[in-house]
Structure 1
């Protein structure tokens, strides 16, 4: 008869950002544990609050399935001696399986007879198996851990209680000095200890003690309460998903409430007000129907509505103190000029091995112009870009960014506009940080996009030049994220991006004046290119491009990154074409033979052709070579595929590796022409054709 399983780990309050990942991790590890131990079940649910992680499994088998396994032993000639008696090898084999020689049978495998036994393993009772949940609980990993008392064991927070029930029966195990039982704890202030007679009582009994253990239910309660407040006041409130999840993981029994602040603070840029409320206090901002910020906020209390007025006053007091600071900083910052701020950056270190932020800005000015000219910015855009690079980090030394680092770039745009900079320049200052996360928003303006690429590329080139490359999971300067940002921006803008050519131009300019630029850039082993290729792979995987297509594209003899994006999409679209397999096989044969060319600089001599197939292929190749640079990726692919009949006829009528050296080399050179055009598209010889 199946039973329901409940276990709960009671902890001191966990950080909000850890709660959901830990709950999901516990669910996955429990699922794997039950599967590995052959315990069937119907469904599994995970619950969490800041003080608990819990799992509820329905219709779990009372015992493991009995196992019957056929085990192969030594060969028959080893199992029997010359007299036909069982050898020590055979006796040792069956003894190791808990059986006797009477259980042996012989079966033939690939012409050889082997000893086989059928091993029957009766399933253990679920209660015995589930004692292993101790290892599931202790195996959880966290971004930070702590240890307590005299124990070396580390966990996200100290464990205070463990509930473990199979139906109405306690599953006995112990973690440190905490023994499993049926007692849990209610809300820290509103509830009492609670005892479960049966696993099925979990949610209802905790709810009676002011704990909503189901995080989905708790989040729905918060959303409903906030929407009711909004409807009552005719307000618009955006339920930011990340903030909603964080607030949800700070409470066990939510009660939403409204707080207020003086309208005078609305004179401060709304980004500052929203940051003060959202990032620092976990409040939801309030707007009218037109989207204008109002002097109110909504917060969520971990408790009921009793004496909620005191809670409101306390939250208002904390927020107003922050807004007072913000108002003061905003006023003080307007006394500074941009030039004063830029001059201060000469004394602000970017990294001790690389130099100051001012020197970084000088390098980015050079790099941005090289990239901007390459992608075809207009004269006006290049001028705006130049001005942006001269000042784009100035807000780092403002009071506001010192207090609210998450507003860097945002305040730069605000202050630049206040001091009369062009909107395009101000926008680029904000956009150069984008994307701020792997899949974050990209720069919209061309000037901002180039500045973002240049700033990120400079960081990568600089850190690689001083030997500070990311290794394993260690990436303290977020170089992987920044490089992935470059890839995404180039793909989004559909810009030509011949990386190695750009890198050479940048290095020549920067290395010409170390006194100004602060560093010598070197990358002789092309590690930056390899690093970029790894981020390209990440980008393509996110677009569900096949692994062999990714390898083929990344290893193309092609400098322009945007061509690689086009090629990946194009190959993905043609994989199921009828002529894909024979065309790739024909081109692969060409590529493999072309590797035997000894002198690529030699010219092809049509006078050495011995048949019409050679001539036809040569003429078609010359025509393609004349057009390949001006054609799209799709057109070049179609042209290469169109060569297949000529290639097949060529190989039918032509022996390439003949003894005559002049004729052999002439033929290899002709194949090398096709190979170079193929490999410029992608390493077509690495594609898997089935």
Structure 2
């Protein structure tokens, strides 16, 4: 027989961002525990609302599965004497396993016969196992910021107020956080009165529905999104899908009802981001757009309740948003009274990092670094002037009223204020773009001005932090250096910028020469930051479809110019699809293995005696000469084509030439040939890293 098992942990309101990870963890813990305890079931599901985390197991067997264990004992010749009588070793082993000597069985391992005890352990009633297991599952959940409450030495996301544990219709008895499990739950905080009795696990969802709780988060999500779309469509508008906001709203309500409110049209004179930010970030509202993507004076909110008195709730939300927008409008108008360029001096009062100085000093460094990168790319003077202006203004919006109130608008307000101040449109766009990308999947800077400014800003942060000993460790990355390194990698790749990573790091470090509290010198920073980038590059290349060994091969050949490394990886991936690639890989490995025995040096053509080694040498020289031109033109496909031509002379060499001859000069000369050939091939990709 099988019955459903319900475990509900009732709490005070859990932060929305805790819920989905907790439910995933809850399910994984249960699956692992049930497997270890031999409990068979049909399906495990987890559900959550702000006030409860629920584990629901369908068709859980009423009894643990029987456990059969084999215990290996002494060898047969040790366990029994010549007459076949059990020795002390056999009797001691049988006693330790709880079986009779005559129940021991013989099994052959290799060529030796051993005694084995077959021990069968009957399964316990599931209800008894659950009584021990359930409190372990609850205490096993981990949260970013757990709480303690009262005088208890117990931690959870938020204080636990009740625990429901039912196996079928029976309460599974246990105690957790001084609370005894029972069959009484609670519905919606305001729409349901008093405890609700759950007679049987299968009736739990029915009881919750009557208590105005939509337990299934996926169902709440679907209902919310459908309501939002319907309301937007009712005024000829639409709502862009916002997964993060939808997930958050789903996990802050138990019984969702969407509502539409409005705000005064004159607020639309402000940039749309100024309106959307307080809506989304502070009030968790969905902005409504027209068919052309322009903001309408409408918003959609989701209340935690029914449609009763919805007009009052709507009016309350409108009042709150109106106050927010009035503040934003005031800040906006006040900020426009002073030009962005006049605010730059205020950055002298803003400390970026104590050891690295003020934000004003950072602006000076990134301006210089960005210009140095522009020179390396051959950017013309007119463009460099725009870059210098954008760098000068890049951080000025940090001291505006608007960004002080809404930090999410940094860069956005810089762009808007720059345009209002009559700055060049490319300068204004670069001010915004230098923060890009802000998160995974975000847009990248589109113009060269924004690209260089973004690179300079991020490099300055990474190099400065490494120089003072602030490197990301484990999950700790307070200054988002990993994200910034990924941003640099994406920009260099997508814009195909031929910039040297080593040179960029060195240039960035030179901006800190006047700082006295640096812990690492230039060489140390270059080495550590390069390794830091190597890990990010691996991740990006893998994410974009390269196999792990292709990545290892091209990175081993060098990754100083990231865009070139990517192009070499693409060429290698294509090259690997050739039918003859496996043969070529075998040939390379033979060359490379013998090359390791070489003392190095150049090849003495006079010592080449046999025709096959002369042909291989000519093939090597041709390859080396052609490679110079192809590498200069970044034609990596052509380089690999040249490598393919080496297969025949390499094979002929190994078929007809003895490398390790007695004549030391001849031997070393042949090894030198193989060494130089291997090194030249590895300069585009280390084939020894490739798995056939």
What's the TM-score once normalised by structure 1's chain length? 0.94
Task: Structure 2: give runs of 5+ residues left out of the alignment.
Answer: none
Distance 1:668 1:316, change over 3 A: same
Distance in 2 (alpha carbons) for counterparts of 1:515 and 1:162: 58
Task: Map 1:424-463 onto structure 2 (within 5 A).
Answer: 424-463=426-465
Does residue 489 (structure 1) correspond to residue 491 (structure 2)? The answer is yes
Q: Bigger CA drift: 176-185 or 524-533?
A: 524-533
Equivalence for 2:603: 604
Contact kept, 8 Å, 1:514 with 1:520, in 2: the verdict is no
Contact kept, 8 Å, 1:355 with 1:519, in 2: the verdict is no
SS at match of 1:233: coil
Task: Map 1:468-479 onto structure 2 (within 5 A).
Answer: 468-479=470-481
SS at match of 2:373: helix
Contact kept, 8 Å, 1:557 with 1:679, in 2: the verdict is no
Contact kept, 8 Å, 2:459 with 2:508, in 1: the verdict is no
Distance 1:55 1:605, change over 3 A: same
Distance in 1 (alpha carbons) for counterparts of 2:40 and 2:577: 40
| CA displacement at 1:448 relative to structure 2 | 1.5
Deviations 1:436-487 (A, max 9, x none): 1133322222221222222112211111111111122211111111111212
Task: Map 1:251-290 onto structure 2 (within 5 A).
Answer: 251-290=253-292
Contact kept, 8 Å, 1:3 with 1:61, in 2: the verdict is yes
| CA displacement at 1:637 relative to structure 2 | 2.2
| CA displacement at 1:242 relative to structure 2 | 1.3
Distance in 1 (alpha carbons) for counterparts of 2:473 and 2:446: 32
Deviations 1:320-365 (A, max 9, x none): 2211111111111112223322211122111111122222222222
Equivalence for 2:26: 26
Equivalence for 1:422: 424
| CA displacement at 1:413 relative to structure 2 | 0.8
Equivalence for 1:465: 467
Equivalence for 2:554: 553
Distance in 2 (alpha carbons) for counterparts of 1:92 and 1:385: 85
Contact kept, 8 Å, 1:372 with 1:382, in 2: the verdict is yes
Q: Bigger CA drift: 399-408 or 222-231?
A: 222-231
Does residue 297 (structure 1) correspond to residue 299 (structure 2)? The answer is yes
Equivalence for 1:619: 618
| CA displacement at 1:400 relative to structure 2 | 0.7
Distance in 1 (alpha carbons) for counterparts of 2:189 and 2:537: 49
Q: How many pairs are equivalent?
A: 685
Equivalence for 2:655: 652
Select 1:684's aligned residue among 682, 687, 692.
687
Contact kept, 8 Å, 2:600 with 2:675, in 1: the verdict is no
Does residue 316 (structure 1) correspond to residue 318 (structure 2)? The answer is yes
Contact kept, 8 Å, 2:467 with 2:518, in 1: the verdict is no
SS at match of 1:3: strand
What's the TM-score once normalised by structure 2's chain length? 0.93
Equivalence for 1:346: 348
Distance 1:665 1:502, change over 3 A: farther
Distance 1:687 1:399, change over 3 A: same
Equivalence for 1:54: 54
| CA displacement at 1:578 relative to structure 2 | 3.3
Deviations 1:237-288 (A, max 9, x none): 2242211111111111111112222222222211010001010000111222
Deviations 1:612-660 (A, max 9, x none): 1111111111111112244322222232233122112112222333443
Does residue 500 (structure 1) correspond to residue 502 (structure 2)? The answer is yes
| CA displacement at 1:576 relative to structure 2 | 5.5
Task: Map 1:352-371 onto structure 2 (within 5 A).
Answer: 352-371=354-373
Q: Bigger CA drift: 398-407 or 219-228?
A: 219-228
Task: Structure 1: give runs of 5+ residues left out of the alignment.
Answer: none
Distance 1:503 1:221, change over 3 A: closer
Equivalence for 2:637: 634
SS at match of 2:524: coil
Does residue 178 (structure 1) correspond to residue 168 (structure 2)? The answer is no
Q: Bigger CA drift: 251-260 or 654-663?
A: 654-663
Deviations 1:344-392 (A, max 9, x none): 1122111111122222222222322333344554554433223222221
| CA displacement at 1:114 relative to structure 2 | 2.2
Equivalence for 1:103: 103
Q: Bigger CA drift: 568-577 or 108-117?
A: 568-577
Equivalence for 1:675: 678
Distance in 2 (alpha carbons) for counterparts of 1:113 and 1:378: 85
Equivalence for 1:40: 40
Distance in 1 (alpha carbons) for counterparts of 2:75 and 2:381: 82
